[in-house]
Amino acid sequence: MFEQCPKRLWLSVHRRELAEHDDGAEARFATGHEVGAIACTLLPNGVMVEAEPDLAAALVTTRALLDNGLAQPIFEATLQHDGVLVRIDVLEPDGAGGWHMAEVKSSTKAKDYHVGDLATQLWVARNAGVPISSAAIRHVDSSFVLERDGDYDGLFADTDLMAQAEPIVAGRGDAVAAARATLAGAEPDTAPGAHCDAPFPCEFAGYCHAALPAGPEWPVSVLPHGGGKRWIEQGIVDLLAVDPAALSNAVHARVHRATVSGEVYHDVEGARAAMAGWAFPRTWLDFETIGFAVPRRIGTRPYQQVPFQFSAHVETADGGIMHREFLSLDGSDPRRACAEALVEMVPPTGAVIGYNASFEKGRILELAAAFPDLADALTAMAARVVDLLPVTRANWYHRDQRGSWSIKAVLPTIAAEMDYASLEVKDGGSAQEAYAEAIVAGCTPERRLALDTALRAYCGRDTEAMIVLARRLQLHDDVCGGEI
């Protein structure tokens, strides 16, 4: 934390109450806990150092294990040096009198910021007299496939970062002294900048940014795909100050023009032409999925997106609409039932339309690969998938989208009544949380029913919104309509 920002460290110790609530913290903690527990089960002869009754006891226990010449893995080995206490996820005997150190992470690869964490542990361990011969990040191996229930042998891979950590270890003493001096002093006067988001979004951003003068209403950062970077480098932060003649990218020019003029860019003929070939019956399709770091379903990989819900609005050429849906909240593997429901509910002909549809197509093809008896129907369905997102991007822009064509950014500008504010489940993240809550054994039938209702309302809104969006894209602005 000190290395990301001295002020963040200071605030986290002296002004903790200024931190913003982190919605995802609980889920991340639960994932980390699950991953850590699995890593321990893979070393069945390991010894856990409990933090009970307190960390002082953990220090004593660790020291006793090391001094007694233990030749087994140690979990949460607790060591201290110069007032810095660390708990090392895994220490494994290296067979030559030393120890291999591993920090367990739920990510699928080692990241740059892991090196600093590892260096601190290395510095403490060495100064506490523990000979460390290698140090690694033990991360989830994304190529792992669960083949038997509960068999996670192979779930992790070690990336050795000893060589990268070594140069940092030498300076750790100075860094600790600097951190201590920071904590003993007044609140640091650190200006917000790029470091506020990397490697982690800072929980004090609201506090720090409130002290800054207000920025322009339309910053250059609304130019999509990092288009604002070159202007910021030239000291231009206001999009209204950008010379339009210097915008060679057509999308940037369009965003600039719509922002400066306040006029919507809308190419009705372009939208009509793009959708003219989408055969009826049209199926407007949206999946909700969940990906667990520790795969739970046979045949799945870590973080593989498993569909547990879909909504399909089927539209006929005469404008008729029929809604169909699937949702599995009983905690079983939802894939077979989902695949069967798709084959049953999605017509065998006509376009299948998604928004950012490569996601829908990918899920359908994964189901086809998992269930050979349904593969022909599902593969044919995937071949009929078309995408409303590029059509929208090419033919509509309202400056309130602020450079985004996500459906949540577009809808308020073209179909404001399709808002999500009144829904209990409002986005993909909260849909995953609802699903995770509903499938645990302790969820009451009443709560599960409430979650079921909320999930159906959300996913159904997504596909309904796509139809309204598509219809409005094809109507001139002075024509009312597009309702379904």
Asked if 405 and 392 touch (Cβ cutoff 8 Å), the reply is: yes
Which segment (4-12, 101-109, 146-154, 172-180) binds ligand SF4 by CB under 6 A? Answer: 4-12
Asked if 435 and 290 touch (Cβ cutoff 8 Å), the reply is: yes
Which segment (112-120, 165-173, 202-210, 291-299) binds ligand SF4 by CB under 6 A? Answer: 202-210
208 binds ligand SF4 (CB under 6 A): yes
Size of site (CB under 6 A) for ligand SF4: 12
Smallest separation, CB 218 to ligand SF4 (Å): 23
Cβ atoms within 10 Å of 1's Cβ, excluding its own: 14
Which segment (82-90, 187-195, 417-425, 427-435) binds ligand SF4 by CB under 6 A? Answer: 187-195
Which segment (91-99, 194-202, 336-344, 365-373) binds ligand SF4 by CB under 6 A? Answer: 194-202
- Which residue, 461, 351, 371, is CA-closest to 415? 461
Distance in angstroms (rounded) separating the CA atoms of residues 72 and 61:
14
Smallest separation, CB 25 to ligand SF4 (Å): 16
Smallest separation, CB 307 to ligand SF4 (Å): 37
Q: Which of 2, 11, 125, 455 binds ligand SF4 (CB under 6 A)?
A: 11
19 binds ligand SF4 (CB under 6 A): no
Beta-carbon contacts of 437 under 8 Å, excluding residues fewer than 6 positions away, are: 443, 447, 451
Asked if 196 and 5 touch (Cβ cutoff 8 Å), the reply is: yes
Smallest separation, CB 187 to ligand SF4 (Å): 9
Distance in angstroms (rounded) separating the CA atoms of residues 364 and 339:
8
Smallest separation, CB 19 to ligand SF4 (Å): 10
Smallest separation, CB 191 to ligand SF4 (Å): 7
336 binds ligand SF4 (CB under 6 A): no
12 binds ligand SF4 (CB under 6 A): no
Using the minimum distance from each CB to ligand SF4, give the nearer residue, 208 or 242. 208
Smallest separation, CB 190 to ligand SF4 (Å): 5
31 binds ligand SF4 (CB under 6 A): no
Beta-carbon contacts of 111 under 8 Å, excluding residues fewer than 6 positions away, are: 137, 199
Q: Which of 42, 70, 205, 380 binds ligand SF4 (CB under 6 A)?
A: 205
Smallest separation, CB 224 to ligand SF4 (Å): 25
Using the minimum distance from each CB to ligand SF4, give the nearer residue, 97 or 199. 199
CA distance to 18, 293, 377, 379, 381, per residue, from 365 (Å): 47, 21, 10, 6, 9
335 binds ligand SF4 (CB under 6 A): no
1 binds ligand SF4 (CB under 6 A): no
Smallest separation, CB 177 to ligand SF4 (Å): 20
297 binds ligand SF4 (CB under 6 A): no
Count of positions (residues) in the chain? 484
Structure tokens that stand for 431 in this block: 């849909």
CA distance to 239, 240, 245, 253, 403, per residue, from 216 (Å): 8, 9, 21, 19, 15
Tell me the one-letter amino acid at 370.
A
Using the minimum distance from each CB to ligand SF4, give the nearer residue, 182 or 283. 182
Which segment (94-102, 166-174, 188-196, 315-323) binds ligand SF4 by CB under 6 A? Answer: 188-196
314 binds ligand SF4 (CB under 6 A): no
39 binds ligand SF4 (CB under 6 A): no
Which segment (58-66, 84-92, 197-205, 311-319) binds ligand SF4 by CB under 6 A? Answer: 197-205
DSSP sequence for 406-463: SHHHHHHHH-TTS-STT-SS-SHHHHHHHHHHHHSTT--HHHHHHHHHHHHHHHHHHH
Distance in angstroms (rounded) separating the CA atoms of residues 15 and 22:
16
Using the minimum distance from each CB to ligand SF4, give the nearer residue, 208 or 271. 208
Q: Is the peptide bond before 224 cis (omega within 30 degrees of 0)?
A: no
Q: Which of 75, 204, 292, 310 binds ligand SF4 (CB under 6 A)?
A: 204
90-122 in b/e form (b: 16+ CB < 10 A) is: bbbbeeeeebbbbbbbbebebeeebbbbbbbbb
Q: Which of 195, 336, 408, 426 binds ligand SF4 (CB under 6 A)?
A: 195
182 binds ligand SF4 (CB under 6 A): no
8 binds ligand SF4 (CB under 6 A): yes
Smallest separation, CB 206 to ligand SF4 (Å): 8
Structure tokens that stand for 242 in this block: 């950008």
Smallest separation, CB 110 to ligand SF4 (Å): 23
> Looking at beta carbons, which pairs linking 14-22 to residues 24 or more positions away fall under 8 Å?
14/183, 14/187, 15/187, 15/204, 15/207, 18/204, 18/206, 18/207, 19/203, 19/204, 20/203, 20/204, 20/205, 20/206, 22/203
Q: Which residues bind ligand SF4 (CB under 6 A)?
A: 5, 7-8, 11, 190, 192, 195-196, 202, 204-205, 208
